[in-house]
Amino acid sequence: MDFLKEDNNYYDIYSLIDSNKCPYTIKDFNIPQPVYDFKKLNDKLLEIHLDLLRDNKINLSFTRNYIISCELNKLGYDCIYMVPSTESILNTFKSLVNEITLQNLDKNKSATCIVTVNSSEYINEDLIFKNDEIQNQIYNTILNSLSRHGFYGVQVKKNDMKIEIHTTKEMLNNMTNNYTDFFISEDLKEIKYSLNIGWGIGNTNIHAEQNASQANGKSAALNGNCTFIVNDTNDTIGPLYSNKNSNTIEDSSIANKVASFIPLSNTNVSKIMCMINDRNSNNVSAEILADYMNITLRSANRILSILYKAGIATIVNTKLDNQRGRPKKIYKIDFLSFLNKMQKLNS
């Protein structure tokens, strides 16, 4: 705030706001006061603003100098031009401090992960006697994965039949690449058991653990090996996979889940998923589907019609074959969005 000076007693800001929360002022830069050469002062102030912004010591400037305001905005920096009064300065600064405080509180909310072995694995009764060995394997794999990827200060602990990871919302956001993938799930494949992975975000540790348990259940419903997040507003995000496997939607558990909602067999759903993966595209026509699945064009159109009515497929393009005959429809197929929608409806 370049207008806080000795001759206006810094608008009493030092007596009203904690010193560690006060903004930078002329007082911090040993500028002789009172000031008589305002041209020289303004040049110096612009230089100070730029140095602070470039060094990331501040991310917002306040100035009463219109030219400085224009220059900073032109360079892409955030700057507020204001003609100050004591009241306007304090109100503006207090609201800014409150906003920053809220952002910090949000970033530091609790985030908890619960990792469990999927119940389908316990068909083999011997697994119960190997539980401690498996838990140790999961625990060590997670620790090694976190260390290898440079995530330190994350707490991992064994808790009876589950492994828990405790961190913050900000760290979870970084670990999951803004909630798009989860690298640890790739390393956990070494365990060779189907694992349920659920993250919960909450205002308290208990709230985060409750949401993590809910997310873990959603992973279990898909037979594991995927990650779900239930955030602090109870929204569900997922399923997430490691970015190496985010396109492997041919997994039979997903095919079974999709087939339970629509009049198609899980075999046909699996074939469509394999086709999408092989072609590296989820845009498909009836001709492409018929050729890939070795079925008639009529059967392919029937399948696409079922997917369209269920909301799994959308028409993204229509074109004429050599400008004659019936238009050829191009469909975009998205099984994961459909599953997410159905889970929200049923939750």
Most confident of 94-108, 209-223, 278-292: 209-223
Distance CA 89, CA 92 (A): 5
Burial of 231 by CB count in 10 Å (0-12 exposed, 13-18 middle, 19+ buried)? buried
Instruction: Note the pLDDT of residue 246.
Output: 42
Does the structure show a pLDDT above 70 at 244? no
Instruction: Note the pLDDT of residue 18.
Output: 67
How much is the mean pLDDT over the chain?
A: 79
Instruction: Note the pLDDT of residue 192.
Output: 74
CATH 1.10.10.10 intervals, the chain: 247-344
Domain with residues 105-239, CATH architecture:
2-Layer Sandwich (3.30)
Least confident segment among 11-15, 182-186, 264-268, 280-284: 11-15
Burial of 2 by CB count in 10 Å (0-12 exposed, 13-18 middle, 19+ buried)? buried
Instruction: Note the pLDDT of residue 145.
Output: 87
Helix (H, G, I), strand (E, B) or coil at 7: helix
Six token digits for residue 341: 């929608």
Among left, alpha and beta (phi > 0; psi -120 to 50; other), residue 17 is: beta
Kindly give the residue spans of alpha helices, DSSP state H, lying in the chain: 13-16, 38-54, 66-74, 86-107, 126-129, 131-148, 169-175, 184-187, 205-221, 252-259, 266-279, 286-293, 297-310, 335-346
Does the structure show a pLDDT above 90 at 11? no
Instruction: Note the pLDDT of residue 6.
Output: 60
Six token digits for residue 267: 């075999």
- Asked if 168 and 108 touch (Cβ cutoff 8 Å), the reply is yes
Does the structure show a pLDDT above 60 at 318? yes
Distance CA 61, CA 54 (A): 12
- Residue 322 DSSP symbol: T
As a whole number, mean pLDDT of residues 43-71 equals 82
CATH 3.30.70.270 intervals, the chain: 105-239
Least confident segment among 208-212, 238-242, 271-275, 336-340: 238-242
- Asked if 195 and 224 touch (Cβ cutoff 8 Å), the reply is yes
Q: How far apart are the first and last CA of the chain?
A: 50
316 or 22: which leads in pLDDT = 316
Q: How many CA atoms lie within 13 A of 283 on its CB side?
A: 7
Instruction: Note the pLDDT of residue 32.
Output: 66
Which of the following CATH numbers is that of domain 247-344: 1.10.10.10, 1.20.140.10, 1.20.210.10, 2.40.160.20? 1.10.10.10
**Sequence-ordered list of residues with C-beta below 8 angstroms from that of 44, at least 6 positions apart, any chain:** 29, 31
Bridge partners of 164?
114, 157
Six token digits for residue 12: 């009493």
Among left, alpha and beta (phi > 0; psi -120 to 50; other), residue 318 is: beta
**Sequence-ordered list of residues with C-beta below 8 angstroms from that of 325, at least 6 positions apart, any chain:** none
- Name the one residue in this structure whose structure tokens are 């110096």: 44
Bridge partners of 328?
319
Does the structure show a pLDDT above 60 at 50? yes
